[in-house]
Structure 1
Amino acid sequence: MKKLILLLILASLSCKEQGTNATAQSEVLTATEFKTAISKKKVQLVDVRTPDEYAEGHIENAVNIDYYRDDFSSAFNNLDKDKPIYIYCRSGNRSGKAAIILSDLGFKEIYDLKGGFSNYN
């Protein structure tokens, strides 16, 4: 009986670790790395700031999908989950949270701008 309980505890811990790794699919890039990556080819580039922040300035060709939208998750339905996606916000907080959501939605390659748009220029 003690062995069975021990096995159940170990199995539970293993499942928790696997679940944690499932959402750790994003890579944080420095501003230089981010600029280089998005300049090499046409990419899926998403600004997760509010429309007002986006209007004040954004990276060229970025699509604005506000993190605070009620339909934030479903707004990504038109994007290709098998292609890399590059995301940013003002400071990196919202885009970090968005990366977890995108991973849960099935996006395989997620790149987040370290320090956000504030650090980009």
Structure 2
Amino acid sequence: MAKFITITPESARDLMEKEPEITILDIRPHEDFKKEHIPGAVNLDYDGHQFQSKVEKLDKDKNYLIYCKSGVRGGYFMDKMRESGFKGAFNILGGFVAWKISKLPLTND
């Protein structure tokens, strides 16, 4: 059964530990991603060129953990994934800001 839900940063961390194969998508601008991001995340700039074509290249049978800066675009993107036939996606409530406030791991490599 496909799941598309918004979860807390702590639940997202737990999900990453339980499902190490989950794909983490950072949909913030590339400049923000370069400064710091959640470990293991892949940048897919929401406002970047060819965003839709990049999304269409994603494997619809995988589960995704999405985050933007504040959680709003992540929720919108999650809805788009549902409409496009993806298996499942999770949006981080409050996005990157909430993750950082929760003092969860960050990296800039």
Q: By the TM > 0.5 criterion, same fold?
A: yes
Aligned twin of 1:51: 30
Question: Higher strand fraction: Structure 1 or Structure 2?
Answer: 2
TM-score w.r.t. length of structure 2: 0.81
Aligned twin of 2:68: 89
Question: Which amino acid in 2 is paired with 1:36?
Answer: D
Q: Distance in 1 between matches of 2:77 and 2:43?
A: 13
Structure with greater Cα Rg: 1
Residue number among 14, 25, 49 corresponding to 1:36 in the alignment: 14
Q: Secondary structure at the match of 1:26?
A: strand
Provide structure 2 residue ranges, at least 5 long, that are not aligned to the other structure: 104-109
Question: Which amino acid in 1 is paired with 2:61?
Answer: D
Answer yes or no: is 1:69 the counterpart of 2:61. Answer: no
Question: Higher helix fraction: Structure 1 or Structure 2?
Answer: 1
Q: Distance in 2 between matches of 1:71 and 1:104?
A: 18
Provide structure 1 residue ranges, at least 5 long, that are not aligned to the other structure: 1-24
Aligned twin of 1:99: 78
Provide the aligned length of Structure 1 versus Structure 2: 97
Decide whether the 8 Å contact of 1:73 with 1:101 is kept in 2: no
Question: Which amino acid in 1 is paired with 2:10?
Answer: T
Q: Secondary structure at the match of 2:58?
A: coil
Moved over 4 A (4+): none
Tell me the C-alpha RMSD between the 2 structures: 1.4
Q: Secondary structure at the match of 1:35?
A: helix
Q: Secondary structure at the match of 2:53?
A: helix
Question: Which amino acid in 1 is paired with 2:38?
Answer: I
Which structure has the higher relative contact order (CA within 8 Å, separation 6+)?
Answer: 2
Question: Which amino acid in 2 is paired with 1:26?
Answer: F
Q: Secondary structure at the match of 1:87?
A: strand
